[in-house]
């Protein structure tokens, strides 16, 4: 069973090969190698604007984006100082202990690889003094990704070089990452295609009596065995009243007829991620749930309409205004208090990154070209929850506005 939803919808963009071919992977790797010096050059421009001589990075996403060095999900917790990096006006230095040195030398060609083994404060003075400011003099100011560095480490680094000022870097690299290169969008689209196909293959297994946990595990298996190198995040599968938990975890509750079944999940392909939510109906939909689904779909359509108008005029709205366009639909229906989270978020090397589409987003036009989610929801505690989430590629300059998620948004009934 399908049911037409409020217009407009967005066209679905080009569908990549699934799984990615070896040629795809090689092309993407080559594109990154070409783009990396340009990304570093843009960061150096920001450093010059802020009168900073060196940038010290610790985010594993920023490390991959700027240097090519790859740490797996959560690996930074056991990697010590490996994967951290310093960028001056002339050099890129990647830290790697004996466990990672060979990998770093392979992935970070043309960059200096330096030893660091849980002893960065001891090595800090030598590292900083091995670099030069843009005028050829000694380093005077180092920008640090302060939101990811502990107070203890900050103090230790400052003590190691008391004549060098440490300053907190803003989201300089994160802002760069919000602007997506064509090959980045391709990888996000590929991850979306893996997720789309996985959910389609899962549908015949959805029936009353199966547990949330078992469905989540099967969905993970479908993604991992059909093109995903990893999950973007743990699969959410919630049934009935548990669907009112926006980020709940699947449990042993058994699916029942006449209830909703909410999936929030994503795949990772060549480092880039997807994120999709679909709320399905197990058997005949309850009137209340069907009305809420149409309300959420109308909210999403309102956001699509604003984005389509902006793209046609070669402009970009603010994240705040897109959130408001979608939220106003839900508020007008009397469910404003049941939509507590933001409308959307950027996605790429991380599942949640810039830009933000929310009431608390920066009051500036959205960047482009970029990719972000549109995911309104209505949650009635203890009763039910509905969310529809799609990823959107947005680039007014090239008249690009389409969905990367291809799984139907229409009302979908399963388990009959």
Q: Which alpha helices (DSSP H) does 16-119 contain, by range? A: 22-49, 60-67, 101-107
- Does 317 share its domain with 268? yes
Q: What is the CATH number of the domain that holds 397?
A: 3.90.230.10
- Per the domain annotation, does 9 fall within a domain? no
- The Cα–Cα gap between 65 and 231 comes to 19
pLDDT score for 416: 77
- Does 294 share its domain with 314? yes
Per-residue model confidence as pLDDT tens digits over 112-165: 999 998 999 999 999 999 999 999 999 999 999 999 999 999 999 999 999 999
- Does 140 share its domain with 184? no
With 70 as the cut, is the pLDDT of residue 2 above it?
no
Domain carrying residue 302? 179-414
Confidence tier at 5 by pLDDT (50, 70, 90): confident
- The Cα–Cα gap between 394 and 307 comes to 8
Per-residue model confidence as pLDDT tens digits over 349-361: 999 999 999 999 9
Taking only Cα atoms into account, the Rg of the chain, rounded to an integer number of angstroms, comes to: 23
- Per the domain annotation, does 15 fall within a domain? no
Three-state secondary-structure class, residue 404 = coil
From its phi and psi, is residue 334 left (phi > 0), alpha (psi between -120 and 50) or beta?
left
Q: pTM for the complete prediction? A: 0.96
- Does 151 share its domain with 191? no
Exposure class string for 156-166: b at 16+ Cβ within 10 A, else e:
ebbebbeebeb
- The Cα–Cα gap between 242 and 190 comes to 30
Per-residue model confidence as pLDDT tens digits over 212-250: 999 999 999 999 999 999 999 999 999 999 999 998 999
- Per the domain annotation, does 209 fall within a domain? yes
Cα dihedral 151, 155, 160, 164 sign: positive
Q: Is 66 exposed, middle or buried, given 0-12, 13-18 or 19+ CB atoms closer than 10 A?
A: buried
Identify whether the C-beta of residue 379 lies closer than 8 Å to the C-beta of residue 393.
no
- Per the domain annotation, does 26 fall within a domain? no
With 80 as the cut, is the pLDDT of residue 65 above it?
yes
Identify whether the C-beta of residue 277 lies closer than 8 Å to the C-beta of residue 296.
no
With 50 as the cut, is the pLDDT of residue 1 above it?
no
Last residue of a domain, one of 111, 137, 168: 168
- Does 290 share its domain with 356? yes
| Spatial CB neighbours of 314, under 8 Å, sequence gap ≥ 6 | 396, 397
Q: Among residues 37, 43, 52, 47, which one has the least CA distance to residue 108?
A: 37
pLDDT score for 4: 63
Confidence tier at 7 by pLDDT (50, 70, 90): low
Identify whether the C-beta of residue 57 lies closer than 8 Å to the C-beta of residue 70.
no
- Per the domain annotation, does 21 fall within a domain? no
Half-sphere exposure of 359 (CA within 13 A, CB side): 9
- Does 373 share its domain with 304? yes
Last residue of a domain, one of 148, 168, 188: 168
Q: What is the CATH number of the domain that holds 58?
A: 3.40.350.10
- Does 134 share its domain with 204? no
- Per the domain annotation, does 47 fall within a domain? no
- Average pLDDT score, the chain: 96
pLDDT score for 321: 98
137, 152, 225 from 164: Cα distances, Å: 13, 17, 50
- Per the domain annotation, does 34 fall within a domain? no
- Does 277 share its domain with 390? yes
| Spatial CB neighbours of 199, under 8 Å, sequence gap ≥ 6 | 219, 222, 263, 265, 276, 278, 407
Based on the structure, what is the number of domains in the chain? Answer: 2
- Does 204 share its domain with 117? no
**Which tokens is 312 given?**
């046609």
- The Cα–Cα gap between 144 and 142 comes to 6
Residue 286 per-residue DSSP state: P
- The Cα–Cα gap between 138 and 89 comes to 12
- Per the domain annotation, does 334 fall within a domain? yes
Confidence tier at 301 by pLDDT (50, 70, 90): very high
% pLDDT > 90, the chain = 94
Last residue of a domain, one of 168, 195, 212: 168
- Does 293 share its domain with 357? yes
| Spatial CB neighbours of 39, under 8 Å, sequence gap ≥ 6 | 65, 66, 176
pLDDT score for 9: 86
- Does 162 share its domain with 283? no
pLDDT score for 3: 60
- Does 154 share its domain with 183? no
């Amino acid at each position: 069973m399908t049911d037409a939803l409020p217009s407009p919808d967005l066209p679905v963009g080009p569908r990549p090969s699934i799984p990615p071919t070896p040629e795809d992977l090689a092309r993407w790797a080559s594109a990154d190698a070409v783009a990396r010096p340009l990304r570093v050059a843009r960061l150096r421009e920001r450093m010059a604007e802020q009168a900073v001589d060196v940038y010290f990075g610790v985010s594993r996403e920023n490390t991959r984006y700027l240097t090519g060095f790859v740490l797996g999900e959560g690996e930074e917790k056991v990697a010590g100082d490996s994967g951290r990096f310093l960028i001056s006006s002339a050099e890129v230095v990647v830290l790697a202990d004996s466990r990672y040195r060979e990998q770093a030398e392979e992935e970070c060609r043309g960059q200096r690889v330096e030893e660091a083994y849980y002893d960065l404060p001891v090595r800090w003075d030598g590292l900083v003094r091995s670099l030069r400011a843009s005028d050829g003099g000694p380093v005077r100011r180092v920008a640090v990704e302060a939101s990811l560095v502990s107070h203890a480490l900050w103090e230790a680094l400052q003590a190691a070089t008391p004549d060098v000022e440490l300053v907190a870097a803003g989201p300089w690299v994160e802002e760069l990452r919000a602007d997506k290169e064509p090959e980045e969008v391709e990888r996000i689209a590929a991850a979306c295609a893996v997720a789309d196909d996985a959910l389609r293959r899962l549908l015949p297994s959805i029936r009353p009596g199966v547990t949330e946990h078992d469905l989540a595990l099967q969905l993970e298996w479908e993604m991992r065995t059909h093109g995903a190198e990893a999950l973007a995040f743990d699969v959410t599968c919630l049934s009935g009243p548990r669907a009112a938990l926006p980020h709940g975890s699947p449990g042993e509750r058994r699916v029942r007829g006449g209830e909703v079944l909410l999936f929030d999940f994503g795949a990772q392909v060549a480092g880039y991620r997807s994120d999709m939510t679909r709320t399905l109906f197990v058997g005949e939909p309850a009137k209340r749930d069907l009305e809420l689904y149409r309300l959420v779909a109308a909210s999403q359509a309102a956001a699509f309409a604003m984005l389509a108008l902006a793209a046609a005029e070669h402009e970009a709205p603010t994240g705040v205004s897109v959130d408001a366009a979608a939220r106003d639909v839900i508020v007008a229906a009397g469910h404003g208090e049941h939509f507590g989270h933001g409308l959307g978020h950027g996605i790429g090397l991380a599942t949640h990154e810039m830009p933000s589409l929310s009431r608390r987003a920066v009051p500036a036009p959205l960047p482009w070209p970029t990719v972000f989610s549109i995911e309104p929801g209505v949650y009635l505690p203890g009763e039910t929850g509905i969310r529809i989430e799609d990823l959107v590629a947005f680039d007014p300059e090239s008249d690009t506005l389409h969905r990367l998620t291809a799984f139907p948004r229409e009302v979908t009934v399963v388990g009959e």
